[in-house]
Each structure stands twice: as C-alpha cells, then as structure tokens.
Structure 1
Amino acid sequence: MANFLLYTSLFIIWMMLFYHAFLMIGGYLHSLKYREYEKKLATPVEDFPKVSILIPAHNEEVVIEDTIQSMIQLNYPKDKLEVIIINDNSSDNTGSIIDRFAQKYAFIRAVHTKPPHTGKGKSAALNHGLNYSSGDIIVVYDADNTPEPDAIHYLALGLKHDSKAGAIVGKFRVVNANKNILTRFINIETLTFQWLAQAGRWFWFKMSTIPGTNFAIRRSILEQLGGWDEKALSEDTELSIRVYNAGYYIRFFPAAITWEQEPENLKVWLRQRTRWARGNLYVIFKYLFRMHKLKNKKVLVDIYYFLFTYVLFFGGILLSHSIFAVNLVRDLELSIGVVSYVLLVVGFLLFVTEVCLALSMENDQLTFRNFLSVLFMYFTYSQMWLFLVMYSSFLEGKRMLFRQEAKWYKTQRFKQPTKENHSA
C-alpha cells in the first residue's frame, strides 16, 4: 500500500513539474515576442479611450500619498482620465489625504463609503466605486501601488487594439524586495508566477488570470457580469472565470508595470496568503460542480489547473513527505528505493532551473545572491506553502460546512524609504 501511495504521489508531482516546465518555455518565448504587440498601439491622442482608475483604500495612510503621486505622473491625457479613490471605512488619515489631492486635481475624485456599504472588503468597495465612474475602460490598482508612467497607456490602448480581449493585465514588481529574506523570496515567487503561469499560459492557451492590481477591463463586461463577487476573497480569480465564460480572453502584457509592496514579516504574509488560498479554493468549489453549465469550455483549463495545484499537487507533496518521514522510523518496505531519491533530486534541479529562467527575463535579477536564495527557498519558503494550503483548506471547509460569512483581511502596509531601488 505504501508503495502504491508513493508511486501515485510521485506521478502527480512530476506531472505538474512537466506542466510547469512547459509553461516556463512558453513564458520565455512570450518574453521575446510581446514587444511586437507594443508596436501596434500607435493611436492619435484624440482617439484615446476614457479611463477610470479605481483604488480601494482602507486605512492606507502609510502608502496612499505615494500611490496618488504616481497617478499624477501617469503619461495619459488628464481630460480622458479619472482616478476614483474609495475611502472604505478608514479610521486613520486616509480620507483626509485623499480629499486634499481631490481638491487640488480635477481628475482625482474621493469617494467615501457610507453604511450599509462600509467595511465589506475589496469587492464591495470596487462595486461602490464603479457606480461613480464614467470611463469605458476600468483600471484597478491596490492602494500600495505606484505604476510606472506608461502603465495606463499600455493597458488602455492594449484593450483598444484587441477587440477579443475582455481584460488586459500588466506586470507587478516588488518595491521592497531587498528589505529582508522574506521579501526576497516573495520577489522571486512573483517573478516566477508571472513569467510561468501568466506569460506561459498566455503564449500556449491565450489565457491568463486577472491579478488584484494593474489590470484593465471593459466597463461593458463588468456591467454585463454584475461587477465583482462580494463573497469571493480572491475576487480577481473569480472574475477571470466569468470573463472567459462571457466569450473573451485575458491578455498578459508585461510592458505595463506597477511596483507594489509585499509583506515584511511572516504574520502578515501568512494572513495574506491564507486569504489568497481560501479565495482560490472558493473559486474551485464554486465552479467545480457547474462546469457542465459553462459556455466557454476553455475556462476548464484554469479550473483544472487550480484543482490540480491546490488539491492534487499539494496533496501529492504532502503524501510523499509523510511516507518518507514514516519510513525513517518504521520500515515500510518501499521498493522504489534509490529511484525515489533520484526523482527528488531531479525535481529540485528542475525547480531551480525554472525559477532561474524566470529571473533571467528581468534585468539584474539573475544574480548570485538570488541564486543562493532560490536554493534556500526550496527547503523553506516553498515548504511553508504546504502548511498554508492545509490550514486554508481547513478554514474554508469549516466556513462552507457551517455557512459562515467570509471575512476580508486587509494586508498591513509598511512605510517605505522615499526612493526605493526599483532595479532590485
């Protein structure tokens, strides 16, 4: 029995490793080609679409001023741009900071939520802000984001020139990557995710996932879909499924770049990532038993990917770890022997190769220091995800069983130096 379980777990793990290697090849090829699309975006200024930027903000006084300053510096005609900042039940100075800028700049608008629309989470704040917007294209940024000046230009014109795209997503970078070992791990993780899962899926399948920030979506689609799902903790993933089911695709266009802050300690990281994992589990079970009702069967690629990642892949790793641990204290008479250790070593080398390839696609990221971080990351940060997914599965299972209301957790922000090194 132990041999059968071990073979099964190794088969699942290697199936996902090969799939990730396949995606990374696509990501690398996309990194060589996406600039060709950039050349197609030449548009007279008078034909630029009207853009509404929505920024939900709850107790964001530490970061919101830098975010607003980055909006002011955007290279986009201000008469075709409106920035709507939703002050969602803040108890700090967020509201007064937003009001100060709104009084000074005509294209910035402060929206303060009022009961019964307060404190219900990001989706509710976005739906509330959408009611005050007028743009044909809706762009979303988190309150800790500082997009580069051309980001909106790429997002808005990217949609204008691609009628089949319901949404277009850019790339995000970690502004505090050099803060400590945790932020360095997160920086490596985010770059790998974007060039593997986002760019790779776009290259092979014309699919990517809407992130929580730095994306543009057509207003008509949001209205057709009824806005954001206010029960979803990962509102971005859930919205992606509905966009695909409506007959559109989501383009990944890494020319549009924003810089965002990541958790600087394990407590904040755990709470944020737990929300993400629970949100993705919510999406899996929301659509798992409705797959036969989905109009666009292509979306099954994403649903199965999340299912395999959160259920089978993490389950396979946990199972193999458990068998090896038990075998240390009790002989399970495993027949696979040396082969299993060879597979583990080769799997580790494949992990390192994929991550280093992702780092090589960014300037100054494939450094010796980052290479050492990748080696250490496999045995520490990557293993932490096992326990996080187990914990998230328990919480989400309990919520579903007892019909509990999902509670939104806002990620804690940290004050950054005035000028962080963006090449980190």
Structure 2
Amino acid sequence: MANTMVYFSLFLIWLMLLYHMVLMQGGYLLSLANRKLENDWQQNKIPYPTVSILIPAHNEAVVIAKTLEAMSNLTYPNYLLEVIVINDNSNDQTGEIAESYARKFSFIKVIHTKPPNGGKGKSGALNIGLAHSTGEVICVYDADNAPEPDAVYYLTLGLQNDQKAGAIVGKFRVINANRNLLTRLINIETLTFQWLAQAGRWFWFKMTTIPGTNFAIRRSILEELGGWDEKALSEDTELSFRVYNLGYYIRFFPSAVTWEQEPETFRVWWNQRLRWARGNIYVISKFLVTFFKLKNKKVGIDLGYFFFTYFLFFAGVITSHFILILNLFIDLDLTIGPVSIALIVIGFLLFVTEELLALSLEKNQLTLKNVWIVLFMYFSYSQLWLLLVVNAVFLEVKRMVLRQEVKWYKTKRFESGEDEDKTA
C-alpha cells in the first residue's frame, strides 16, 4: 500500500513538473517574440483612448507619495488621463499626501471613503473608484507601485491593437529585492511566476491571469460584469475567470513594467500569501460548481490547473513527504528502487533549471548568489507552501461552514531604503 501511494504521488508531482517545463519553454519563446510585437504595434497609429487609473489605498502613507510621483512621470497624454486614489477609510496621512498631489496635478483626484461603504477591502474600493471614473480603459495599480513611464502606454497599446483582448497584463518587478533573504526569494518566485505561468500560458493557450496590479481592462467589460466581486480575497483571479467567460482572452505583454514592494518580514509574507491561497480556493469552489453553466469552457484549463495545484499536486507532495519521513521510524517495506530515486533527483534539477531560466530572461538576475538562493529555495521557501495551503483550506472550510464574513488582510508596507534596485 505504501509503495503504491509513493508511486502515485510521484506521478502527480511529475505531471506538474512536465506541465511547468512546457510553460517555461513557452515563456522563453514569448520573450524572444515580444520585442518584434512591440515594434509592430507601435507602427499602427491608433488613437489613444481615455484612461482612468484606480489606486486603492488604505493606510498607505509610507508608499503613496512614490506611487503618485511615478504617476506624474507617465508619458501617457495628461489630457486623456485621470488618476483616482481611493483613500479607503485610512487613519494615517494617506489622504493628506494624496491631496497634496491632486493640488499639483490636475489629472490626479482623491476619493475619501468612510464606513459603512468604505474600509471593506480592495474590491470594494475599486468598485467605488470605477463609479467615479470616466475612462474608456481602466488601469489598476497598487499603492506601493512605481510604474515605469511607458507602462500605461504599453497597456493601452495592447488593448488598441488586439480587440479580442479583454485585458492586458504587464510585468511587475520587486523594487526591494536586495533588502534581505526573504525579498530575494520573493524576487525569484515573482520572475518565475511571470515567465512560466503568465507568459507560458499565454504562448500556448492564450490565457493569462489578471494580477492585482499593472493591468488594463476595457471599461465596457467591467460594466457588463458589474465590477469586482467584493467577497473574493483574490479579486484579480476571480475577475479573470469572468472575463474569459464573456469570450475575451487576457494577454500578457511584458513591455509594460511596474516596480512593487514585497513583504520584508515572514509574518507579513505569510498573511499576504495566506490571503492569496484562500482567495484562489474561493475561486475554485465558486466556478467548479457552476462549470457546466459557463459559456466559455476554455476556462476549464485554468480551473483545472488551480484545482490540480491546490488539491492533487498538494496531496501528492504531502503524501510522499509523509511516507518517506514515516519510513525513517517505521519499516514500511518500501521498494523504491533506483528509478524512483532518479525521478526525485531529476525533479529537483528540473525545478532548479526552470528557476534559472526565468532569471536568465531578466538583466542582472542570473548571478551566482541567485543560483545558491534557488538551491536553498527548494528545501525551505517552497516547502512552506505546503503549510500555507493546509492553513488556507482549513480557514476557508471554516468560513463556509460557519458562514463567516470575509475579512481583508491589508499587507503592511515598509519604509524605502537605499538598497532599492531597478534592474529591468
């Protein structure tokens, strides 16, 4: 019995590894083709649309000034642009700082919210901002973001040149990557996610997930969908599924780049990632039960991937870990031969190869230090994901059984330092 469970676990793990290998190849091929696509699109003289940038901000005094400074340096024509800061029931200086920029720049305005409508989370703040906006295109940036000057231009360029795209997703980089070991790990994770999951899925399947920041979506689509789901902790993933269901696709366009701050302490990282995991589990449960009612069955590709990741792959890893550790104390009469051991070793090498390939696609990222961090990452950072999913599943089941209200966790921001490094 133990042998059968180990072999089945290895089968599930290798399915994921092979899928990721295919995605990474797609990400690499997309990186080669992107520059030509960018140049081709720029040759088309299509009129600029009006753009509304929504920035939900709850107690963001530490970072909001740098974000608005970046907004003031955008190359997009000011007369077609409005930047809306939703000061969502803040009790710090967020509102005052945002108002000071609104006085300096006519295209920046601030909305102040209070309970009962304000302070409920990002989705609620975005819906309030949408109601006050006028742009044909809606862009979203988190309050800790510093988009590069051409970021919004590239996002709208994508929408204008690809009418089948309901949304265009850009690339985000870690601005505080060099702060400590945790931020270095997050930086590698972030780059791999974008070139493997985002770019790879777009290249092979014409599918990408809307992230929480640096994306543009057609206003008409948001209005048809009724805005953001205020019950979703991962409002971006949930919105992605509904956009697909309308018959549009979501395009990854890495020319649009923003820089964002990542958690610098384990506790902040854990709470942020726990919210993401719970949000993704909510999305799985929401759309899995209504799958046969969905108009666009292509959604099943992503739904299946999420389900496999959070349940089947997770179960395979947990089972293999448990049996192999238990066998150290109790003889389970395992007959794992050289082939199985080779599969484990090769699986580890594939993980390392995928991470390093993703790093190679970014300037100054494939360094000896990052190679050592990738090796360390497999045995530490990646394993924490298992504990995270266990906790997330427990909390989501508890919430649904007890019918608890969804509570939004606000990610803590940190003072910027001299080690912030933009090396795109």
Question: TM-score when scaled to structure 1?
Answer: 0.98
C-alpha separation between the residues in 2 aligned to 1:214 and 1:388?
Answer: 26
Q: Does the aligned pair in 1 maintain the 2:140–2:216 contact within 8 Å?
A: yes
Q: How does 1:81-230 map to 2 (within 5 A)?
A: 81-230=81-230
Corresponding residue number in structure 2 for 1:337: 337
Question: Which letter maps to 1:265?
Answer: T
SS at 1:171's partner residue? strand
1:77 partner amino acid:
P
Deviation at 1:303, TM superposition (A): 0.2
2:380: which partner in 1? 380
Of the structure 1 ranges 101-110 and 69-78, higher mean CA displacement relative to structure 2 is found in 101-110
Percent identical residues: 66
Q: How many residues align?
A: 424
Q: How far 1:421 sits from its partner (Å)?
A: 1.8
1:349 to 1:169, Cα distance in 2 relative to 1, 3 A: same
Instruction: Specify the alignment match of 1:411 in structure 2.
Output: 411
Distance in 2 between residues matched to 1:392 and 1:127, nearest whole Å: 26
Distance verdict in 2 for CA 1:164–1:46, change over 3 Å: closer
The alpha carbon displacement at 1:322 in A equals 0.1
CA distance in 2, matches of 1:107, 1:41: 27
**1:280–1:46 distance in 2 versus 1, CA, 3 Å:** closer
**In 2, Cα distance between the equivalents of 1:156 and 1:237?**
21
Structure 1 residue 290 corresponds to structure 2 residue 329: no
Provide the C-alpha distance between the structure 1 equivalents of 2:335 and 2:314, rounded to a whole number of angstroms.
23
Q: Name the amino acid aligned to 2:323.
A: I
In the TM superposition, residue 116 of structure 1 has moved relative to its aligned partner by 2.1
Aligned CA RMSD, in angstroms, stands at 1.2
Cα distance in 2, alignment partners of residues 374 and 390 from structure 1: 24
Give the structure 2 partner of residue 393 of structure 1: 393
| TM-fit CA distance, 1:344 | 1.2
Give the partner amino acid of 1:399: R
Deviation at 1:243, TM superposition (A): 0.3
Distance in structure 2 (CA, Å) of the matches to 1:6 and 1:135: 55
The residue number in structure 2 matching 1:423 is 423
After superposition, what is the alpha-carbon deviation per residue over 1:226-284, rounded to whole angstroms, capped at 9, x for unaligned?
A: 00000000000000000000000000000000000000010000000000000000000
Whether contact under 8 Å (2:75, 2:150) holds in the other structure is yes
Q: What runs of 5+ residues in structure 2 fail to find an aligned partner?
A: none
1:423: how far off? 1.6
The DSSP-based 3-state class of the residue aligned with 2:328 is helix
**Quick one: structure 1 residues 325 and 316, their matched pair in 2 at CA, closer, same or farther if it must change by over 3 Å?**
same
> How much has 1:114 moved relative to structure 2?
2.9
- Counterpart position of 2:13: 13
How big is the shift at 1:44? 8.3
- Residue 419 of structure 1 deviates from its aligned partner by 7.4
What is the CA–CA distance in structure 1 between the aligned matches of 2:419 and 2:185, rounded to whole Å? 21
Which residue in 1 is equivalent to 2:25? 25
SS at match of 1:375: helix
Three-state SS of the structure 1 residue aligned to 2:333 is coil
**Displacement after TM superposition at 1:339 (Å):** 2.8
The CA deviation at 1:117 is: 1.2
Amino acid at match of 2:163: S
Q: Distance in 2 between matches of 1:349 and 1:419?
A: 31
Q: Secondary structure at the match of 2:110?
A: strand
Q: How does 1:63-78 map to 2 (within 5 A)?
A: 63-78=63-78
CA–CA separation in structure 1 for the residues paired with 2:293 and 2:44: 42
Whole-Å separation in 2 of the counterparts to 1:357 and 1:58: 37
Q: CA deviation at 1:418?
A: 6.1
| Contact in 1 for aligned 2:86/2:110 (Cα 8 Å) | yes
3-state SS, counterpart of residue 47 of structure 1: coil
The residue identity in structure 2 corresponding to 1:127 is N
Contact 2:176/2:419 (<8 A) preserved: no
Look up the match of 2:276: 276
Secondary structure in 1 aligned to 2:377? helix
Q: 2:62·2:415 contact (CA, 8 Å) conserved in 1?
A: yes
SS of alignment partner, residue 329 of structure 1:
coil
Cα offsets for 1:50-87 (capped at 9, x unmatched): 00000000000000000000000000100000000000
**What is the one-letter code of the residue matched to 1:374?**
V
User: Could you tell me how far apart the structure 2 residues matched to 1:413 and 1:74 are?
Assistant: 23
Between 251-260 and 113-122, report the one with greater CA deviation.
113-122
User: 3-state SS of the aligned residue for 1:178?
Assistant: coil
Name which of structure 1's ranges 67-76 and 339-348 shifts more when overlaid on structure 2: 339-348
Whole-Å Cα distance in 1 between the matches of residues 41 and 74 of structure 2? 17
Please, which runs of 5 or more residues in structure 1 have no aligned partner?
none
> What do residues 307-352 of structure 1 show as CA deviations (whole Å, max 9, x unaligned)?
0011111111011000001100011111223332221111100000
Shift of 1:390: 0.7
Rate the CA distance shift 1:25–1:44 in 2: closer, same or farther, 3 A. closer
Structure 2 length-normalised TM: 0.98
**After the TM superposition, which segments of 4 or more aligned residues of structure 1 sit over 4 Å from their partners?**
43-46
**Most deviating of 211-220 and 393-402:** 393-402
Q: State the alpha-carbon separation in 2 of the partners of residues 400 and 193 from structure 1.
A: 29
SS in structure 2 of the partner of residue 90 of structure 1: coil
* 1:323 aligned residue: 323
Q: CA deviation at 1:420?
A: 2.3
